[in-house]
Structure 1
Amino acid sequence: MSSKLRLRKRGRSMSNLDQFLQAIDAEVQAEHETLIDLCRQFVEAPSASPPGRTVEVAQIVEKFLNAGAIETEIVAGDPEAPNVVGHVCKGQGRHVVFNAHMDTMQPGDESKWSVPVLKLTRKDGRLYGLGMGNMKGALAAMCVASVVLARHRKSLPGSLSMTAVCDEVMFGERGAVHLLKARPDVHGDYLISGEGPGFMHLAPAEKGLLWLDIETTGDGGHSSGALRGKTAAAKLAGLLTRIDGINDLYADLPQEIAGISGGDGNLGLRVSLNAGTVEAGGVRSLIPTKARAQIDIRLPPGITGAEIEQKVRLAAENNPDIEIKAVKAWDANWTALANPVVAELSAAAATVRGEAPQLVVRLPGSDARRWRDLGVPAACYGPQPTLSAGVDDFAGEQDVLDCARVYARTAVRLMQN
């Protein structure tokens, strides 16, 4: 590359930067088939969680990055679930971190799949296979973007790290949690997560989570002696009915993300409460002495877990036969819309795709919050087509390629920010 295009030079013109970005973009597009083949390799390497074994995927990531002249290392708290760090470039400017997870959801009912679960099927503009949407498509896109940028490391003004982690889909401790504790050098200045919020939207924010375990008790006996509202099951049912109204609560957004969308149905701005499991007894003709429910609550920005837990406890009406335990919780987290990571991702997506992405609140959790908890601005953008993975998991082929282009362009812009 000629010296006039080197981004390290002071007084560079915008036209030189534009030429550099166009050259990077062209190189990424030239790797289209390489990208598809990498997706194929990832899909063929099982990594469903549980158990979340990522050894084989990690080996593919390392081999690909190493072939692209990127040094890698394994950072593992569990040898069955390693994390990979790729050192793409190191400069004096800002440090950008790419992050994608290697584990996937379970396939569900495999009899419902119309394509092989662990084989990439390329048809009708889509790439099918377990994990393509969540999130092996984004993982491949970030790997390709990293390799392309590594070719120009002497011209890049900052640092770029590629992180591929395990244990994300079950909120585990072996992945990003372990990596960030063990390696503060990959905290970075900006985090780009490939965990798309669906529909090629951009998520500067995501909902928080509150898990509550509820247990009710009552006298047992034969069913012929049941009294209204006195059985453990009736007490639980009554409480569940009273707290169902929490689903109607909407948040007033913090000012720094005012104007962000809640997405379809405005779900990102509404509290969602669901009893995922409910159990009581095991014999039809006996009154159970205990009834239990596991509650999953998702919290929009502007409403805290403490507020909602208090509402649930108030609904229990101080009944000594109702016990409520909070077993996992974190509040919604976000990065200000004015932050460079949001602005540059949005601008890059607009350049690549012809229109700016909608800014939304991501509904499920992601590892982006692990970086935000450390004060690192983070945003989620990736080729996940809908809200979550499922039967016939897929990603749009053009979306995966576009994401690689967006990641590369954004990283360059952020390094010099």
Structure 2
Amino acid sequence: MAGWLMSAASENAADIKSVAQAQRQELLGLCAELVSARSPQPEGDTTAPVRVLSAFLEKHGLRPEIRSATPTKPNIVCGFDTGRPGPHLILNGHMDTLNPGDPSDWLVPIYQLQQQAGRITGLGIGNMKAGVAALAMAYVGLSRNRAALCGKITLTLVADEVVFGPDGTAFLLDGDESLLGDAVINAEGPGGMNLAIAEKGLLWLSIEATAPPGQGMLSQQGSSAIARLSKLLASLDQWNDEQSAPPPDVAVLANNAGEHGLRLSVNAGTISGGSFVSQVATRAVAEVDFRVPPGMKIDKIMKRVCALAEQIGGIKVTRIKGWDPNWTAIDSELCTAMLDATAAIRGEAARSVVRLPASDAARWRARGIPAICYGPQAELASGVNDYVYEEDVVDCVAVYMAAAAQICGGEGRGATWLSL
């Protein structure tokens, strides 16, 4: 485990950056193939990107293993053991993408990579096919230079992440504890080439209001289910201004929280109720999404909602799903390696931030494994006209390799790194 205690990022930075730069065209070609390999949710069929990535890894003499719980949602596992004692580093990314929605909203081709003014575009390029390509390229480089490393490195490219489903990382970890590893680099960036050491928790609630039947002409204040539900939702909307104080081991988050990082967000995503305009609504239902920052707990949010519902009366609150915010301590070896690597490759250390959407990093953190998110996604959330910056994608290859060199550094640290 000595590699965890020594800095290698700066020692090897020049060689590693040269290796990454030399692979620019192959990297962009892989990005293009992945954008064309369709894998949108809700189907989330990852067979096409698996074919692309398997062929890429095999071309470089590696042996990817395909594992799947569902035939249309295969995952890739590819690992190597240096034969020397050391930590087990996991590189993780997902191959499924968001749904493109209405094609008329797109100003760039959806399933064809386009390069313009330093940007590359296409569905899922930010979330997260560019990140996957960078991970795969970095993994090939690390395998090629395993003589300079110790321990193990495993690449896991998964399905079913966008919907946080059971057939991707959850399936792999439940079936193979060796994939827990000792540390995880996830390529799903939080935007702006920042380093996500934490992410918000999630709480989804179904809120149902009921009321006695009656004629609308006889209604009074709060006598209908819609009125009761509306009153509760209006109160919840005011919670959007609440801020948290981060826990001590991630206190640095207070410096880079921005507008959203440490803010509780509350969104009524769906609402329905009533049967006819002149009748008192006897039932109304809303589904509400809470994103909970580090420093808050979903159980406390749930109790507050239930107390408010009881105060109004005639309202039932049901939890759909949820998990607490999660993070990796800023002074962990993993965070130190990533900060050193970003400083060495990009000239300054990445800012440590809270990632707003959930990621598979949370699955490792829930099992006590340090995990971070760092990748080329340009904005806080990807969507229509998704894009990344070409230079950021190339830099990600180098950052992943430099961080791995620090985490899994062996006796060969400081040696010249070989090109792919």
Q: State the TM-score, normalizing by the size of structure 2.
A: 0.92
Query: Which of 298, 315, 340 does residue 308 from structure 2 map onto?
Result: 315
Picking from 185, 190, 196, the partner of 2:189 is 196
Question: Are positions 1:286 and 2:298 aligned together?
Answer: no
**Which stretch of structure 1 is more off in the superposition, 42-51 or 257-266?**
257-266
Contact (CA 8 Å) 1:144, 1:404: kept in 2 or not?
yes
Alignment of 1:277-356 (within 5 A): 277-318=270-311, 321-356=314-349
C-alpha distance in 2 between matches for 1:346 and 1:126 = 25
Distance in 1 between the 2:63 and 2:409 partners? 23
Q: Which amino acid aligns with 2:319?
A: A
Contact 2:96 2:159 in 1 (8 A): yes
Where 2:381 maps in the other structure, the secondary structure is coil
Deviation at 1:244, TM superposition (A): 2.1
Is the alpha carbon distance of 1:158 and 1:241 closer, same or farther for their aligned partners in structure 2, counting shifts above 3 Å?
same
Contact 2:91 2:186 in 1 (8 A): yes
> Structure 1: where are the runs of 5+ without partners?
1-7
* 1:261–1:361 Cα contact (<8 Å) kept: no
My pick for the range that moved more, 31-40 or 346-355, is 346-355
Q: Which residue of 1 aligns with 2:46?
A: 54
Any conservation in 2 of the 1:113–1:391 contact (CA below 8 Å)?
Answer: yes
Q: 1:171 to 1:18 in 2, by over 3 A?
A: closer
Residue 285 of structure 1: CA displacement?
3.1
Verify the 8 A CA contact 1:94 1:416 in the aligned structure 2: no
The one-letter code sitting in structure 2 at the alignment partner of 1:196 is G
Q: CA deviation at 1:262?
A: 7.1
- In structure 2, distance between residues paired with 1:273 and 1:51: 28
Aligned with 1:255 (options 231, 238, 248): 248
Deviates more, 1:237-246 or 1:204-213: 237-246
Structural RMSD (CA): 2.0
> Retained in 1: the 8 A contact 2:208–2:229?
yes
Q: What residue number does 1:83 align with?
A: 75
- The whole-number CA distance in structure 2 between the counterparts of 1:302 and 1:19 is 37
What amino acid sits opposite 2:28 in the alignment?
I
Aligned twin of 2:232: 239
> What is the aligned residue count?
406
**Is contact 2:245-2:254 (8 Å) kept?**
no
User: Which of residues 360, 370, 387 in structure 2 aligns to 1:394?
Assistant: 387
User: Which letter does structure 2 place at the counterpart of 1:133?
Assistant: G
CA contact (8 A) 1:127 1:395 kept: yes
CA contact (8 A) 1:217 1:231 kept: yes
In structure 1, which of residues 178, 181, 186 is the aligned counterpart of residue 174 of structure 2? 181
DSSP 3-state at the match of 2:287? strand
Please point out which of 38, 46, 51 is paired with 2:30. Answer: 38
Which residue is 2:17 aligned to? 25
CA displacement 1:29-67 (0-9 Å, x = unmatched): 100000000000000011111011111111111111121
State whether residues 7 and 337 of structure 2, in contact with CA within 8 Å, keep that contact through their aligned partners in structure 1.
Answer: no
Residue 381 of structure 1 corresponds to which residue in structure 2? 374
Cα offset, 1:263, TM superposition: 4.7
Of 70, 90, 109, which residue of structure 1 is paired with 2:62?
70
1:175–1:257 distance in 2 versus 1, CA, 3 Å? same
> Equivalent of 1:101, from 91, 94, 98?
94
Higher RCO (C-alpha under 8 Å, 6+ residues apart): 2
Are 2:13 and 2:345, in contact at CA under 8 Å, matched by a contact in 1?
no
Q: Does 1:135 align with 2:128?
A: yes
Q: Is the 8 A contact 2:232 2:312 kept in 1?
A: no
* SS in structure 2 of the partner of residue 309 of structure 1: helix
Confirm or deny that 1:172 pairs with 2:165.
Answer: yes
Q: How many Å apart are 1:219 and its aligned residue? A: 2.3
Quote the offset at 1:282 in angstroms. 4.5
Compute the displacement of 1:266 (Å). Answer: 3.3
Deviation (angstroms), 1:211: 0.6
2:259 maps to amino acid: N
Specify the code of the residue in structure 2 equivalent to 1:127: I
The separation in 1 between residues aligned to 2:250 and 2:277, in whole angstroms, is 51
Q: Which runs of 4+ in 1 moved over 6 A?
A: none
Give the partner amino acid of 2:68.
A
Q: Percent identity?
A: 41
User: Residue by residue, what CA displacement relative to the aligned partner does 1:280-329 show, whole Å, maximum 9, x if unpaired?
Assistant: 12433333211000010011111100111111111113555210001101
Q: Kindly tell me: are residues 103 and 14 of structure 1, through their superposed partners in 2, closer, same or farther at Cα, counting changes over 3 Å?
A: closer
Q: Gapped runs of 5+ residues in structure 2?
A: 411-420
